[in-house]
Amino acid sequence: MIGAAALVLGVVLGLIIQPTVPAGLEPYLPIAVVAALDALFGGLRAALDRAFDDKVFVVSFVANVLVAALIVFLGDQLGVGGQLTTAVVVVLGIRIFANAAAIRRHLFGA
Amino acid sequence: MSTSTRGRLRLRILLRPRGTRAQLVVALLCGLLGFALVTQVHNSTSATSRRTARPEDLVRILDDLSSRSDRLRAEIDTLRATRDRLASGQDSGSAALAETQRRATVLGILAGTIPASGPGITITVRDPQSTVRADALLGAVEELRDAGAEALQLSGVGGPAVRLVASTALLDAPGGGVLAGSTRLRPPYRLLAIGDPATLRAAMRIPGGVVDTVAASPGADATITVSNATSVAALQALPRPRYARPAGAS
């Protein structure tokens, strides 16, 4: 509940402040957002599985974001940043889909 | 209890607020996610910065833009060609219109359907005894045409002024005077001619010419006045051909 409210609050804050992304963070922000979304869906699924743990969620959230950003950073250094970004997005997208399917099964039984 | 009802029950339990510290951290992360999400959406829609984009992205963007500009340039060429074609069509159209109008003016003066004015002479023929015959006037008209008169008008007593055109006949009227076309005129006559005044006057005054011929008639004489603004205002109605039609355009 608090999490959902905080999510909405964050969206509203972002809409109000409309911050500009620092140039150095610009390639990593979209990947970080997708990674965080993955962690969020994972957490929701775990909660419905009665396997939710605050610590695990926080660690997985932060680790997801950092690893995703690190992969993209590494790719940029190696000159394959675009391809690695796509790869990360594909992998995270598949995971989000899988988690969403599990959540759907929990909520609708189908 | 089915799986889905259990799932919804659990969701309701999840939505119940619990104020532990770990929950607050989770909430913080969720808020951060929302904030970052909106920021990224805003950033990518505004698309302000090419500055930090990767080289390959920039190359792709450049390719897109250059192929688009090629397409647009081709379109510009096509449209420009169309415009030139239309403009030249309009030009030749208006040139043809101007030429046609000029021709209509020339023909109108020649046919006597539009009034004319310009330098010319006026010949006044006084003939109290009505002895000047139509052929003397006809001689004067032909002499004036030879001398380059462009518009001619004959007026007298007893009728309106008559524009003299190619088809106008001059006849002796029974009982004196002349018939100009279908109008009967009595002396004194005034013959107006538009053309080079010096040439016209010389043509009238050559020995044995019009002036001499008129003077040979008893009691008659002809005087010539030169004017820079002779006005030939009488009009000739344009006859509509009853049988003839323009050939070629079926």
Closest Cα in chain A, distance from residue B68 (Å): 23
Cβ pair B3:A23 closer than 8 A: no
Inter-chain touch B29–A2, beta carbons under 8 Å = no
Are B126 and B221 in a shared domain?
Answer: yes
Structural contact between residues B195 and B149, judged by C-beta atoms closer than 8 angstroms: yes
Asked if the model's pLDDT at residue B250 lies above 60, the reply is: no
Q: Which residues contact A10 (CB under 8 A, 6 or more apart)?
A: B30, B31, B32, B33, B34, B35, B36, B37, B38
> Per-residue confidence at A108, pLDDT binned at 50, 70, 90?
confident
Same domain, B122 and B107: no
Interface confidence, given as ipTM, is 0.79
- Whether residue B48 lies inside any domain: the answer is no
SS3 sequence, A50-108?
A: CCCCHHHHHHHHHHHHHHHHHHHHHHHHHCCHHHHHHHHHHHHHHHHHHHHHHHHHHHH
The answer on B147 and B120 residing in a single domain is: yes
Dump pLDDT digits (tens) for A60-92.
889 989 998 899 888 888 888 888 888 889 999
Q: Does residue B90 sit in the same domain as residue B178?
A: no
Same domain, B102 and B128: no
B178-180 and B183-194: which strand pairing? antiparallel
Q: How close B7 gets to chain A, by Cα (Å)? A: 5
- The letter for the amino acid at B81 is A
CB contact B20 to A (< 8 Å): yes
In this predicted structure, the answer to whether residue B50 has a pLDDT above a threshold of 70 is no
Q: Is position B22 within any domain? A: no
Is residue B86 located within the same domain as residue B174?
Answer: no
Domain boundary among B92, B111, B130: B111
Question: In chain A, what residues touch B8 (CB-CB under 8 Å)?
Answer: 107
Are B130 and B224 part of one and the same domain? yes
Q: Examine the fold and report which residue of B94, B111, B128 is the final residue of a domain before the chain moves on.
A: B111
Same domain, B171 and B87: no
A48 Cβ contact partners less than 8 Å away, ≥ 6 residues apart: A102, A103, A106, A107, B7, B10, B11, B14
* Helical (H) or strand (E) element with B8: helix B3-15
Structure tokens, B96: 């043809």
Lowest mean pLDDT among A50-54, B30-34, B192-196: A50-54
**Better-predicted residue by pLDDT, A35 or B1:** A35
Rounded to a whole number of angstroms, the distance from the CA of B45 to the nearest CA of chain A is 12
Which residues span the domain enclosing B80? 54-111
Q: pLDDT tens digits for B71-94? A: 999 999 999 998 888 888 777 778
- Cβ(B221)–Cβ(B126) below 8 Å: yes
Residue of B nearest to A31 (CA): B40
Residue B33 domain-assigned (yes or no) = no
Which of A7, A52, A77 to substitute to test the interface with B, most B CBs within 10 Å? A7
Quick one: B120 and B105 in the same domain? no
Indicate which CATH number applies to the domain containing B225.
Answer: 3.30.70.1880
Look at residue B89 in the predicted model and tell me its pLDDT: 77
Could you give the number of structural domains in chain B? 2
pLDDT of residue A94: 94
* The pLDDT value given to residue B158: 81
How would residue B67 be classed by pLDDT, with cut points 50, 70 and 90? very high
Q: Which residue of B has its CA nearest to A110?
A: B4
Span B4-25, pLDDT tens digits? 677 777 777 666 666 677 778 8
pLDDT in tens, B137-152: 888 888 888 988 889 9
pTM over 0.80: no
